[in-house]
Amino acid sequence: MKFLSFLAQACAVLAGIILTGVTLITCASLIGRNTTGWTLLGDYELTAVAAGAAIALFMPWCQLRRQNIIVDFFTARASSAVNARLDRFGALLLAAMFIVLAWRTAAGGLSARSSMTTTMMLGFPEWITYAVMVPPLLLTGVIALVQAFGPAQKEEEGVA
């Protein structure tokens, strides 16, 4: 799990760097547009492409930390053993969902590459965004599988 944790952290750091870059580009474009009339061509496209990649890159860290939304209304009074089994089952369902999501994202990326789909203003190849999204989606699925079938996590490790 340490290697998966390292990969999840690396993905989260990369996502943070991407979002910082998008923030700087957006600020420069807004300041230029409101002061000198200069704007960065395609800033909206860059934001959309980068945000999609960043969201996918944050998912492994989110799953590793078990920080997804949990609705415990019906299980609040259940025993910790029942909740642990439900958490493992939920992790298994999430793993299946993310593995399918990675597969379909890869298929979409291959389709975008074969049709040479690009963004309207910049002509940025859309398949690149898909390609960036597939590994973290797959990593999230693997982390969830380990959580579903691996040893129980300790509360003091910060992974509930």
pLDDT value of position 102: 97
Distance between CA atoms of residues 137 and 94, nearest Å: 11
- Which pLDDT score is estimated for 101? 97
* CB distance 18 to 56 below 8 Å: no
Cα–Cα distance measured from residue 49 to residue 22, given in angstroms and rounded to the nearest whole number: 10
Q: Residue 42 has what pLDDT?
A: 85
pLDDT at residue 96 in the model: 97
pLDDT 10s per residue in the chain (160 long)?
899 999 999 999 999 999 999 999 999 999 998 999 888 888 888 898 999 999 999 999 999 998 877 777 778 888 888 888 988 999 999 999 999 999 999 999 999 999 999 988 888 899 999 999 999 999 999 999 999 998 876 543 444 4
Residue 16: the pLDDT is 96
- What's the DSSP call for residue 72? -
Distance CA 26, CA 46 (A): 9
Supply the pLDDT for residue 156.
33
Distance in angstroms (rounded) separating the CA atoms of residues 98 and 103: 8
Query: pTM of the full predicted structure?
Result: 0.84
- Confirm if 146 and 66 have CB atoms less than 8 A apart: no
